[in-house]
Amino acid sequence: MVDIGALLTLTLSLSALTGCAHRQDVAPAPQSAATFDAAAAWRTQARAVLEEGAASSDPAVRRRALLALLATDPAPEAWRLRCRWDPSPMVQRGLIGALADRQDAASRDLIHQLSAGAADPMTRGLAALALGPVGAEEAAGWLADAMGQPAWDRPLLLLAALRQGAPETRTAAGGALLEWLRRGEYPLDAELFLTLARYGTPELAAPLAEGIPRAELEVRMLAAATLLALDPEIAQPVLGGLLRDSDADQVLDLIDALALLPLHPAGAEEPTDQPTNQATNQIVSGWLRQAGTTDPWARDLSRTALVARRELPPSTLRALLKSDDREMQRAAAESIRSALQRDPSLRAPTLIGPLRELLQNDRSTTRLAATEALGMLRDTAPLTGLLEDTFVHVRIAAAAALYRG
């Protein structure tokens, strides 16, 4: 498969950033049960790995390490500032994502700073959307900002103005955004689509459906998944058509996209009892039933999407973690990771053994997903050896889990 992450902004997959390196030179885990001193030593080593990553010259590595430190350090303020002033839009966008669901004044102030002062227009738009209620004048400013940018930089600023502007601002922003969606000249930017799926409105669905056939292959299924979040009725025939003509790569793209798509319908606040986007899940479930009669491969893949979307328990995928199909192993591991990220209270003791086995997998993305899943299951002892993994993102993921403890 040509990994979608090869050209997108990191969100979907990191494997293509460094290739699928074989794991070498992995340090052995301690033989005895971890004593307090041993745990403290591993934690110190993990912190060093994270700090080294935070000082990397590679923005994808910096982003992962800085966000891990931001999430785990008892004193996160320094890491917030490092992210805020990092020159890479990739890092700044990660900070917005990390702060978006917090209600504290410091987070809001930082997001506000980025909505006005980030150099990258898409970052400003993402911050504007995460900001929450603002005055009509500020929303009008976003519209003016958007219209001063090249077309590919406009959509999130337009969406923010559409959501929060006075009527005349909403009309102008909506018209420009709908026209942009119709053209289908979408940048290869996964965060753009995930943001549209989170903050979009049903009126965006029809023009997006028009644009999808012209979209570059890397984002076509992601755009179709976004359409599902915006309006399942419009999406269903579009998705059906795409699936009829799709190859294996595109089916895998769709599964990846469905796993990442927000669980709640577009534009809705995520409720605390975590109801899912039922329409989307019903479509995936229907596909599962249909595919199960003809194509076990498609059935198994759709099951991974449903686990990621919390429609099936993670234990459903135990056999797939041991599959001979390496793509299936990767999809299953990533799906379990997504489910755990969405509900950290999930427990899956029967998966710990198969996930541990995947730490030896020769595919870096599979190791990464297994590492993060085990970290969330608090099964950190097997991760100590991965602090010297050949893939830097695995090292940082292991370090984040060990540092968090």
As a whole number of angstroms, the distance between CA 96 and CA 130 comes to 7
CB of 107 to another protein, least distance (A): 19
Burial status of residue 274 (CB atoms within 10 A of its CB: 0-12, 13-18, 19 or more): exposed
* Sole residue written with tokens 């809001």: 108
Residue 182 or 318 with smaller CB distance to another protein: 182
List residues binding another protein (CB under 8 A).
2, 6-7, 9-10, 16, 54-55, 57-60, 81-82, 85-90, 117, 119-120, 122, 150, 152, 187-189, 216-218, 249
CB of 312 to another protein, least distance (A): 31
Among candidate residues 283, 162, 160, the one with its CA nearest the CA of residue 224: 283
CB of 360 to another protein, least distance (A): 28
Residue 152 or 297 with smaller CB distance to another protein: 152
CB of 98 to another protein, least distance (A): 17
As a whole number of angstroms, the distance between CA 320 and CA 300 comes to 8
Residue 217 or 243 with smaller CB distance to another protein: 217
CB of 250 to another protein, least distance (A): 10
Residue 317 or 392 with smaller CB distance to another protein: 392
Burial status of residue 351 (CB atoms within 10 A of its CB: 0-12, 13-18, 19 or more): buried
Residue 150 or 344 with smaller CB distance to another protein: 150
Residue 55 or 319 with smaller CB distance to another protein: 55
CB of 62 to another protein, least distance (A): 9
As a whole number of angstroms, the distance between CA 141 and CA 161 comes to 8
As a whole number of angstroms, the distance between CA 293 and CA 285 comes to 13
What are the Cα distances from residue 109, in Å, to 130, 161, 164, 239? 11, 19, 18, 40
